[in-house]
A and B are shown apart, each in its own frame.
Chain A
Amino acid sequence: MRADTTDTTTIYTTAPQGAAWRRSLARLSHALDNSRMFPALLIAPVLIFFIVWNVIPTLWMIGLSFYKYSLMLGNERFIGTANYLSLMSDDQVWAALGRTFTWVVVGVGVQTLLGLLLGYLFWGSRDMPGRRLALTLLFAPMILTPIAAGVFFRLIYEPTFGIASFLFRQIGIEVVFLNDRNLAFASVLLVDIWMWTPFMILITLAAFGSVPKAELEAAEIDRIPWLKRMRYIVLPNAKFILMLGILLRTIDSFKTLDLVYLMTQGGPGNVTDLIALLLRRKAFEAFDLGWASALGIILLLAAIAFTSIYLYILNQNRQRQQQEVI
């Protein structure tokens, strides 16, 4: 009885406090709803994260690029644009950029073509038994880390016991994949294509899936040949997503480091030395942080250029859609 009383009292005495607390919360919520600060508060955590992890390091890197700064010797001194001028006249940089350009154009080109082909086949075979399993297996390489794929293929290419070397030997051809100057680049690029073609298949499926069904059905009824159907209906509608995929792959491919580092370290000689490997070497072997920062800034600008192209295409697409609506 006493306990009940106590409980009742407790309830009685806390109820008004709880109500007051709720009223305060409601007032605060109302004030926030009407405040211009509310959106800012919502994005604050992301903004803080972005500033701490992106903006400050980038500014720091920009500043560092104007210094001669070796982590080893600690001889930090301001040298203006000397690092930029140095890397502009550095043969290694241009050679590495040339190889990276070939890497991106050939790699992304082949991935896109294969992605379109295989994506089209999967798109047109929705009722095929085992389609889901086949798709899952096909996407597996994309899920692997480049390090795992690198190790995997180093063993496959291994000249004495690798399965690829063995198979070629069976047909009387002695192939040394990773240390033949004529084959090393293609051998590593093949692994990149193997890894990232599934991504382009995925993009193709998403792109083709975005084609309005009504247009496809109309084409079916009108018995338009598949080539024309692709050219006038599918590709124009899928273009935007396909471009997005190509641009994402281009930016990513431009930064390739881990796979090549693990498989050849840029060799033999420098036939597989891409720009990201050169940057890594300067930053983490030579510890020439100023020069490496300058190169990093140049690569950042290149990535921004790619992104700008993407945004430009995006805007063009929006404008076109708006005009069609009007």
Chain B
Amino acid sequence: MKIIKVFMIGACLLGMDVFLHELAPGNLWCPPLLLFFAVWLGTRQPSLACLLVLWMLTILEDGLSSTPVGTGLARLGTLYLLSGMVAQKLSVQRTFGAVVLGASTCVLDLICWAILARLGFPDMALNEKLSTLMLPRLVLGATCAPVVFWVLDRINGRSASVDRVSGLRLDASKSR
């Protein structure tokens, strides 16, 4: 049941993400909600089931945004695993941690995207695109990510079970 709930939350965020991009096509200031979801999932629910949920969602994202299938998971899967590793070093439940995490994952996402583009689409004018996207993504990551994490925590009802000192989930500690 829990994993279905996580999938539904992700699907809603994906829907909102696509909706926002349809609403303002080409707008650089649309928040990458699925990216925030992947990072949130990596810091709160680092499990194989969640990775599979993310895989399904990224396939849907690729389909909905008409990009080659696999692009989404290559970026977001990497970030999911990285954020899972970072979570033990950084208190992502605190605002500062969430801001840093949001901004850095947005930049990392761009880097992943650049590597992918360099491998798969060498003709693309990458430098111009990256420089255009960098500032909006940094700002969006720093401002929107903490809000999205907070909302997702509330929705998932797991905020209470988080150790605010260590920033790690209690159930995750137990699982270790």
Is B one of A's binding partners?
no
Residues on A lying within 8 angstroms of B by beta carbon are: none
